[in-house]
């Protein structure tokens, strides 16, 4: 919850009233309105605030409203007795005023009657005679009334003696009616009227006394009580009747409580349940009787509430004294929570009768529950420390009899409960019990205290785990650490078990326990829908904040683990340092031949990380992310130590002996070795990669200060990668020393493919012409172009494309790889133009095959797909490059309509796209022209899209003068949105380029690099007919190959039908070899007669190709390079997810 003072200070300048001259009461009227909506008010008043600030403000106001309502309710209950007392005094005063008014009315009637009874002597005789007659008549009526009065009194006495209460009440009602009639008609003399009223009052009092006396008898039944109460109310003594009814229920409660008084058998939760049920059932019965007999009159309701509160308080004090006081002091939360929960449950049933007594219970029980909670938290700390002292730190599944497992099956236990050490199991069980006990008591609002308690005990447990690490003497002063006896974790499996305890508790078990608090609040909530929605929105925020706090504690343990192992690796037992600058500075002065291999300290680092990875993979089954983050942090700790070691860099940069070329080469090899094994282990983070690049650059600058060109003495990156890979194979036992080639010199490295078939180098004598460009230095060899050769091909990657590629990061590479596979690797290959010129002489455009002297070859879809890395593309649909408008192209490229004239001709230049997306300053320079909404992240996404269009337009589907066809934007859009393949499109473009170039066109508008890779592979692995071979099942391939000519446009639907109707060969399809005479005689006769292209038949036959060895080698290369290229992407994704979890 946000602190009110700090929050008001932050928003005090932004929220103010517009009417500054109004008084405070006028300003507050808007808040008193029933239609006041805090969300809309805050949104309108705080438009300049961020969404997060407004959300925090709304949450703060909502919490403040809850607290205010709770405080008001507490205040009402605290002053309720005074309120009831004042109300009763006012009711008594009203009764006295009514009695006084009746007395005055009676006295006024008497005075009026006496005044009218005086005879006037001045009346005439006729009038006197008339008055005498009337007087005689009145005297006669008076005599009759007085006679009725005597009978009335006698009748009442008889009925009272016979206890005929209903008839007595009827007679009294009749007497009151007669008295009222006599008063209005003046049929009784004043003394007689007073006598009648006195008789009625006396008889009522006598009857009420008898009814009250009878009601206090122990043998009276509930029906008799209700009859007496109803009679008393009819007599006009309602307050006495209501008090009598409450007294009866109180006496009944007292008598029944004697039967369940706490004893040896009923003490505890059972006593709480029985007493709670008794008390609140009698209160409910009293409430029902009060409503039935007295309706909802305020005076009676107030007396009922006062009585119910007193009974609830007496009940609470009994439960507190006999049930929860002792367990609360001892830290046994379970009996305290169960007793309070049962009491609150019975109390909540009264809410159906309109009676809410839970605040009374909360006021009395909350201090006891808080005491039990804090004592239980202390007990968890002590119990966990005791178990840690005897823990052997070996992970096991929880015991089947533990409460956390219940009756679950063994499979369910393994799936839901990870392996922990004994102390962690005990800690988890106690935390689960704590949350389970507190979760039903949502009304006590102890969730925050419980969460803080859980954080406190977890912090204490982390301190114990840190102390269990060897060399933890330096950590004794950590916050939350205590001086306890802890068994030391000596071996690496035991130390990783410490991490497993902390990681699994923080990531899964503790959040699972605390989620019970939120789930209970949700199930018990009866608020409106808007409030529930706000709670659902705030609950994930609270859970994420809890996970972040837990993760920070885990990071302390992980940092201690990494620091300990890093120091073991870096420091010697005698206090020396293994990572010293001498290991690089002494190399250049050594006259012996150097055997290039990673330094011993990095070999040991690799061995340690390999062991830890193996142990962690066994310990974190199904949770590999934990192991990845651990290895990532440990590697970063070691490299960061090297990066921040001032003594090391002072010797390298300013020492008396400069860093020489060989020392730089060894340093470069060590760093490449770290990058390679971290990448293969999938724990190469972006931070680690950047730090290594920075320290490599720092070492290169140190060499450059010695007037030596570092780039001229360093070999290519492939040499470093090859040596590092050989070292990894040797250290892991995959390669023996005797089987290695000489890698002591960069120039003698073998020409091997690093990756899939798409990364295959040409096996030429002068291999130096075809080396890969080093990505670290960003340079590549230039190649002169021969302008006299008629045929022109894309013989080098454009500089803008290279700069664009190097400007992107690893995440961009991974996203592009999703759609283009290894196709981007062709940028690193320098093709030989003469190969294409030579191939044109063998191309048969009619049958789309290369016809050599005695066999035929043609690129297949499977081969092209294998180069790219997406060999399995049979189930995908093919992409047909459709025409798109200029507006559509601009929309796909997120460029506002521009006046670029080339778009009207269907192309754009490479420079046009590079200026807007290739340069880093393109975001600022062309911000108004690009549709990025001012977001740099959106620009980076559009940048990847533009690069794929640029790459396809310059390297795969090239046109003269680096013109990029705008149709390719639609192709890239389909690649991203749909799971289509462009392999048929690439192959068709190669076929078309061969055909039109054979006819005289001077520019090869196809991917000549893929074509050269294909032909070099087949020429250097000449097919033989001495083995069985895998080729398509049919010998006649002409019906599956169609010719694409520039002047003929093949309809898209026809192309789709041909593609969908193609024949796919099985993986085990075999063709019998020819040399053994196992082919059909017709085929042999045809092949011998048609060995030259001029006399070939209409339907071409593709001869079998021995691809078994090539496929086997290619698969191995493709798998290795595929994993190598994707490891960085996977590591980055794992690192990003870890960052999200920590946030």
Annotate 313-369 with DSSP letters as a single string: HHHHHHHIIIIIHHHHHHT-HHHHHHHHHHHHHHHHGGGGGT---HHHHHHHHHHHH
Q: Which carries the bigger pLDDT value, residue 192 or residue 994?
A: 994
Q: pLDDT band at residue 553, thresholds of 50, 70 and 90?
A: very high
Q: Which carries the bigger pLDDT value, residue 125 or residue 976?
A: 976
Sheet with strand 849-851: strands edge to edge:
843-844, 849-851, 856-857
The end-to-end CA distance of the chain, in Å, is: 18
pLDDT at 1120: 66
Across residues 115-127, what is the average pLDDT? 48
Of 992, 969, 967, the C-alpha closest to 1049 is 992
pLDDT at 608: 92
Label residue 514 exposed, middle or buried (CB < 10 Å: 0-12, 13-18, 19+).
Answer: buried
Domain spans of the chain, in order of start: 4-78, 136-215, 236-389, 394-570, 582-679+686-750, 877-978
pLDDT at 343: 84
Q: Which carries the bigger pLDDT value, residue 85 or residue 653?
A: 653
Window from 143-157, 620-634, 879-893 with minimum mean pLDDT: 143-157
DSSP for residue 1113: H
Q: pLDDT band at residue 631, thresholds of 50, 70 and 90?
A: very high
**pLDDT tens digits for range 87-105:** 777 877 877 787 787 777 7
**pLDDT tens digits for range 920-961:** 778 877 877 888 777 888 888 888 999 999 999 999 999 888
User: What 3-state DSSP class applies to 542?
Assistant: helix
Window from 39-43, 285-289, 611-615 with minimum mean pLDDT: 39-43
Across residues 101-126, what is the average pLDDT? 60
**pLDDT tens digits for range 365-409:** 888 888 888 888 999 999 999 988 888 898 888 876 555 544 444
Please provide the DSSP assignment of 929-970 as one string: TB-STT-HHHHHHHHHHHHHHHHIIIIIS--GGGEEETHHHH
pLDDT at 659 over 50: yes
pLDDT at 751: 28
Angstrom distances, CA of residue 544 to CA of 539, 540, 554 = 9, 6, 15
Angstrom distances, CA of residue 638 to CA of 569, 579, 606 = 8, 10, 12
Across residues 816-830, what is the average pLDDT? 85
Across residues 866-881, what is the average pLDDT? 71
User: What 3-state DSSP class applies to 264?
Assistant: coil
Under 8 Å between Cβ of 795 and 831: yes
pLDDT at 780: 35
Under 8 Å between Cβ of 1117 and 760: yes
Structure token digits, residue 871: 């060999």
DSSP for residue 304: H
CA 978 – CA 972 distance, rounded (Å): 10
Across residues 1041-1068, what is the average pLDDT? 52
pLDDT at 997 over 50: yes
Q: What angle do CA 965, 968, 973 make, to 5 degrees?
A: 155
pLDDT at 70 over 90: no
Under 8 Å between Cβ of 488 and 468: yes
Window from 573-582, 741-750, 791-800 with minimum mean pLDDT: 741-750
CB atoms within 10 A of CB 763: 14
Residue 850 pairs in a beta bridge with 843, 857
Q: Which carries the bigger pLDDT value, residue 622 or residue 1073?
A: 622
Window from 684-688, 747-751, 862-866, 1019-1023 with minimum mean pLDDT: 747-751
State the chain's mean pLDDT as an integer: 73
pLDDT at 192 over 60: yes
Radius of gyration of the chain, Cα coordinates, nearest whole angstrom: 49
Q: pLDDT band at residue 746, thresholds of 50, 70 and 90?
A: very low
Structure token digits, residue 211: 């009814």
pLDDT at 610: 92
CA 304 – CA 353 distance, rounded (Å): 12
Window from 163-172, 232-241, 425-434, 1086-1095 with minimum mean pLDDT: 1086-1095
Under 8 Å between Cβ of 950 and 920: no
Under 8 Å between Cβ of 399 and 476: no
Q: Is 1031 left (phi over 0), alpha (psi -120 to 50) or beta?
A: beta
pLDDT at 1097 over 90: no
CA 333 – CA 372 distance, rounded (Å): 5
Structure token digits, residue 926: 């062309």
Share of residues in the chain with pLDDT > 70 (%): 64
CA 918 – CA 621 distance, rounded (Å): 43
CA 589 – CA 660 distance, rounded (Å): 9
Window from 161-170, 279-288, 740-749, 788-797 with minimum mean pLDDT: 740-749
pLDDT at 607: 92
CA 588 – CA 591 distance, rounded (Å): 8
pLDDT at 162: 54
Under 8 Å between Cβ of 798 and 951: no
Label residue 445 exposed, middle or buried (CB < 10 Å: 0-12, 13-18, 19+).
Answer: middle
Residue 877 pairs in a beta bridge with 980
């Amino acid at each position: 919850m946000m602190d009110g003072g700090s929050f008001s200070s932050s928003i005090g300048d932004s929220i103010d009233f517009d009417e500054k001259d109004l008084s405070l009461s006028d300003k507050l009227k808007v808040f008193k309105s029933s239609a006041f909506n805090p969300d809309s008010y805050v949104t309108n008043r705080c438009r300049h605030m961020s969404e997060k600030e407004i959300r925090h403000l709304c949450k703060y106001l909502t919490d403040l409203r809850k607290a205010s309502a709770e405080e008001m309710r507490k205040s009402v209950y605290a002053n309720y007795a005074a309120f009831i007392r004042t109300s009763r005094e006012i009711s008594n005063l009203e009764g006295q005023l009514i009695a006084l008014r009746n007395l005055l009315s009676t006295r006024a009637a008497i005075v009026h009657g006496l005044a009218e009874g005086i005879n006037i002597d001045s009346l005439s005789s006729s009038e006197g005679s008339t008055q005498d007659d009337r007087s005689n008549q009145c005297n006669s009526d008076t005599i009759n009334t007085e006679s009725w009065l005597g009978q009335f009194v006698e009748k009442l006495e008889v009925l009272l003696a016979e206890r005929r209460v209903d008839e007595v009440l009827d007679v009294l009602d009749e007497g009151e009616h007669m008295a009222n009639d006599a008063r209005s008609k003046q049929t009784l003399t004043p003394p007689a009227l007073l006598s009648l009223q006195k008789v009625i009052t006396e008889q009522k009092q006598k009857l009420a006394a008898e009814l009250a006396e009878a009601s206090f008898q122990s043998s009276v039944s509930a029906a008799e009580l209700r009859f007496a109460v109803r009679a008393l109310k009819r007599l006009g003594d309602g307050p006495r009747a209501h008090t009598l009814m409450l007294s009866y229920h109180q006496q009944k409660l007292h008598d029944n409580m004697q039967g369940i008084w706490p004893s040896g058998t009923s003490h505890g939760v059972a006593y709480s349940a029985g007493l709670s049920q008794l008390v609140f059932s009698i209160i409910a019965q009293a409430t029902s009787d009060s409503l039935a007999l007295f309706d909802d009159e305020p005076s009676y309701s107030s007396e009922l509430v006062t009585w119910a509160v007193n009974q609830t308080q007496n009940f609470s004090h009994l439960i507190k004294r006999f049930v929860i006081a002792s367990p609360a002091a001892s830290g046994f939360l379970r009996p305290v929570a169960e007793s309070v929960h049962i009491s609150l449950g019975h109390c909540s049933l009264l809410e159906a009768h309109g009676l809410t007594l839970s605040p009374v219970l909360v006021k009395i029980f909350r201090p006891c529950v808080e005491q039990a909670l804090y004592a239980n938290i202390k007990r968890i700390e002590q119990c966990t420390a005791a178990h840690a002292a005897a823990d052997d730190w070996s992970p096991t599944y929880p015991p089947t009899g533990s409460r956390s497992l219940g009756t679950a099956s063994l499979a369910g236990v393994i799936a839901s409960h990870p392996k922990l050490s004994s102390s962690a199991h005990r800690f988890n069980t106690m935390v689960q019990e704590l949350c389970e006990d507190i979760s039903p008591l949502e009304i006590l609002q102890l969730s925050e205290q419980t969460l803080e308690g859980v954080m406190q005990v977890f912090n204490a447990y982390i301190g114990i785990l840190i102390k269990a690490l060897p060399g933890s003497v330096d950590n004794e002063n950590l916050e939350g650490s205590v001086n306890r006896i802890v068994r030391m974790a000596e071996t690496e499996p035991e130390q990783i078990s410490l991490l497993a305890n902390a990681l699994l508790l923080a990531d899964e078990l503790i959040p699972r326990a605390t989620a019970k608090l939120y789930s209970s609040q949700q199930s018990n909530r009866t608020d409106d829908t808007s409030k529930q929605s706000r709670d659902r929105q705030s609950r994930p925020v609270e859970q994420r904040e809890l996970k972040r706090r837990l993760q920070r504690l885990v990071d302390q343990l992980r940092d201690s683990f990494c620091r300990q192992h890093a120091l073991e690796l870096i420091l010697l037992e005698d206090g020396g340092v293994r990572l010293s600058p001498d290991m690089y500075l002494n190399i250049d002065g050594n006259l012996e031949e150097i055997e290039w291999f990673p330094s011993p300290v990095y070999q040991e680092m690799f061995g340690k990380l390999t062991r830890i990875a193996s142990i962690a993979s066994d310990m974190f089954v199904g949770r590999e992310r934990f192991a990845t983050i651990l290895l990532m942090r440990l590697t970063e700790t070691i490299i960061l130590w090297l990066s921040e070691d001032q003594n090391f860099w002072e010797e390298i940069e300013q020492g008396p002996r400069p860093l020489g070329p060989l020392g730089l080469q060894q340093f470069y090899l060590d760093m490449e070795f770290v990058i390679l094994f971290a990448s293969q282990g999938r724990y190469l983070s972006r931070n680690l990669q950047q730090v290594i690049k920075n320290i490599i650059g720092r070492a290169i600058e140190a060499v450059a200060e010695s007037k030596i060109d570092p780039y001229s003495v360093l070999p290519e990156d492939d040499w470093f990668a090859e040596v590092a890979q050989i070292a990894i194979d040797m250290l892991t036992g995959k390669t023996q020393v005797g089987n290695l080639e000489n890698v002591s010199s960069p120039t003698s490295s073998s020409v091997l493919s690093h990756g899939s078939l798409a990364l295959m180098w040409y096996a030429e004598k002068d291999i130096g012409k075809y080396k890969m460009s080093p990505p670290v230095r960003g340079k590549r060899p230039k190649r002169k172009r021969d302008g006299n050769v008629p045929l022109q091909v894309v013989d080098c990657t454009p500089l803008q494309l290279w700069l664009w590629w190097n400007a992107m990061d690893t995440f961009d590479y991974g996203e592009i790889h999703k759609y283009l596979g290894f196709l981007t690797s062709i940028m690193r290959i320098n093709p030989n133009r003469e190969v294409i010129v030579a191939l044109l002489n063998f191309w048969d455009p009619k049958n789309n095959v290369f016809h050599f002297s005695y066999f035929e070859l043609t690129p297949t879809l499977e081969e092209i797909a294998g180069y790219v890395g997406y060999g399995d593309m049979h189930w995908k649909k093919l992409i047909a490059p459709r025409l798109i408008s200029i507006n559509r192209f601009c929309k796909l490229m997120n460029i506002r309509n521009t006046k670029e004239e080339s778009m009207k001709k269907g192309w754009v230049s490479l420079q046009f796209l590079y200026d807007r997306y290739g340069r880093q300053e393109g975001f600022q320079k062309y911000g108004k022209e690009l549709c990025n909404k001012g977001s740099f992240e959106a620009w980076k996404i559009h940048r990847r899209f533009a690069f794929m269009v640029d790459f396809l337009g310059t390297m795969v589907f090239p046109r003269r003068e680096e013109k990029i066809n705008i149709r390719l934007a639609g192709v890239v859009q389909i690649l991203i949105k749909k799971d289509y393949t462009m392999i048929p499109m690439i192959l068709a473009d190669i076929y078309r380029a061969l055909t039109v170039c054979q006819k005289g066109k001077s520019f090869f508008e196809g991917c000549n690099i893929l074509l050269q890779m294909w032909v070099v592979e087949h020429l250097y692995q000449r097919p033989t007919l001495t083995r069985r071979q895998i080729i398509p099942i049919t010998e006649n391939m002409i019906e599956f190959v169609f010719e694409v000519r520039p002047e003929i446009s093949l309809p898209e639907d026809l192309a789709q039908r041909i593609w969908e109707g193609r024949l796919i060969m099985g993986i085990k399809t075999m063709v019998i070899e020819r040399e053994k005479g196992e082919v059909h005689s017709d085929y042999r006769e045809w092949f011998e007669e048609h060995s030259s292209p001029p006399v070939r038949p209409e339907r071409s036959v593709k001869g079998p190709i021995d691809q078994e060895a090539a496929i086997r080698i290619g698969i191995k290369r493709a798998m290795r390079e595929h994993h190598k290229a994707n490891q960085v992407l996977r590591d980055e994704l794992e690192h990003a997810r870890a960052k999200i979890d920590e946030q």
